[in-house]
Amino acid sequence: MSESINPFEVALKQLETAAKYLDLDSGYHQILANPKRVLTVSLPVKMDDGSIRVFTGFRSQHNDARGPCKGGIRYHPGVTIDEVKALSMWMTWKCAIADIPYGGGKGGIICDPKHMSVGETERLTRRYAYMISDIIGPLTDIPAPDVYTGGKEMAWIMDTYSIVKGNFVQPEVITGKPLPLGGSLGRNEATGRGLAFTVREAAKKLHINMHDATVSVQGFGNAGQFASKLVQDQGATVIAASDSKGAVFNREGISVDALVKHKQETGSVASFPGSKSISNDELLEMDCTILIPAALENQITDSNAKNIKAKLVAEAANGPTTPEADDILYKNEIMVIPDILANGGGVTVSYFEWLQNLRREYWTEEEVNNRLDKNITKAFLDVYDTHQKFNIDMRKAGNVLAINRVVEAMKLRGIWP
């Protein structure tokens, strides 16, 4: 993440812009500018060498007008309270766009999971779960995976929560769980799959033939890998990909399966056979049809936006483009499928997982994928219609649509007392 850009300021700026289009009452604007609740927790952990280290964690609950707060938990050395607050606001918009009955939440711990043992990570995770256990719950706030967390951490959180809150199993308190604990088929691939569905719909609007399309992917983690695979299945050719250790390029095309295998074996996409090593800037500014930022925030900024050559930017990461960059891309007629739409497949299948847990019934992968397709295609078309109606870029359109849905719910509920 670029150190100088505060994601919460970006989120507030986006809210302000959308508020103008909606002629939003200043009271509602103020409510939405502040998360409903933010908890900071101090987490002592016994490290493997016998020492005690104290970590800091957060959980931000932005808004629950439409349903329980929902959103992931990230482990990263760069986590800040403002980042978590911004991400929780984006979750509120994301759930509203997907039209699923949730508000927005987000959690994070300042830590470096790549340099922690499994035991240390488990003790940290359980302590965090315990410390937030009074504000999360199946009907209040349902966490999920995010950057550098996954099924393993979700299982520990479910177990800790279940033990401290009545000692009976409560799978519906968290999503993104492993299958044997009530996880949903299709959840692991959901963010990438949802993104590929939005790319398919955008390609129709932009008259892009997927068989002629080339793709550059920044961030070859879970979302980046599945998104690449699925756009490749639609006919596109992936020509560049990166991770935190390097970026590779081959104009003739890179087999996604082979690159996934290479990364599994070596820990990185770097030195993939037959490819040329390139810089992160070269990857973002690649002459390609579709750019998929799937890493962290603030990657496309006012300093590089003018060099972006893709026709379509599909945001798998949260917050990869700054508002200044958005304006430049829009002027250059580059369509951005904003994060809160493009990566909404993850939380949508989290919703399906939660429904399955509450009903103690399980769906086939085909059913999950079909429902996801229907849901996210409708979300894309809703945002696209708003973009045409207001003559604004897709991000502003997504925000306008989402904020309108949230404010509608808040007005109907009223302000109490």
Stretch that binds ligand GLU, among 108-116, 232-240, 346-354, 361-369 (CB under 6 A): 346-354
C-beta closer to ligand GLU: residue 155 or 236: 155
Q: How far is the CB of 150 from ligand GLU (least distance, A)?
A: 11
Among positions 216, 346, 379, 382, the unique one binding ligand GLU when judged by CB under 6 A: 346
Length of the chain: 417
Among 218, 242, 250, 350, binds ligand GLU (CB under 6 A): 350
CB neighbour list of residue 417: distance below 8 Å, 6 or more residues apart: none
**Residue burial 179-188, b: 16+ Cβ < 10 Å; e: rest:** eeebbbbbbb
Please confirm, yes or no, whether 306 is among the known catalytic residues.
no
Task: Report how far residue 214's alpha carbon sits from residue 332's, in angstroms, rounded to the nearest whole number.
Answer: 19
Considering only 24, 86, 116, 144, the residue that binds ligand GLU (CB under 6 A) is 144
CA 361 to chain centre: 26
For residues 301-330, which are near ligand GLU according to CB under 6 A?
318
Q: How far is the CB of 311 from ligand GLU (least distance, A)?
A: 25
Is residue 71 a contact point for ligand GLU (CB under 6 A)?
yes
Binding mask 101-140 for ligand GLU (x = CB under 6 A): ----------------------------------------
Nearer to ligand GLU, 65 or 136 (CB): 136
CA 271 – CA 267 distance, rounded (Å): 11
The closest alpha carbon to 238, from 195, 290, 307, belongs to 290
Q: Residue 146, interface with ligand GLU (CB under 6 A)?
A: yes
DSSP for 281-343?
HHHHT-S-SEEEE-S-S--B-TTTGGG---SEEE--SSS-B-HHHHHHHHHTT-EEE-HHHHT
Q: Which residues of 289-306 are buried (b: 16+ CB within 10 A; e: fewer)?
A: bbbbbbbbbbbbbeeebe
Residue 94 beta carbon to ligand GLU: minimum distance, rounded to whole angstroms = 6
- What does the binding site for ligand GLU look like in residue numbers (CB under 6 A)? 70-72, 94, 144, 146, 175-176, 318, 343, 346-347, 350
Residues labelled as active-site residues? 106
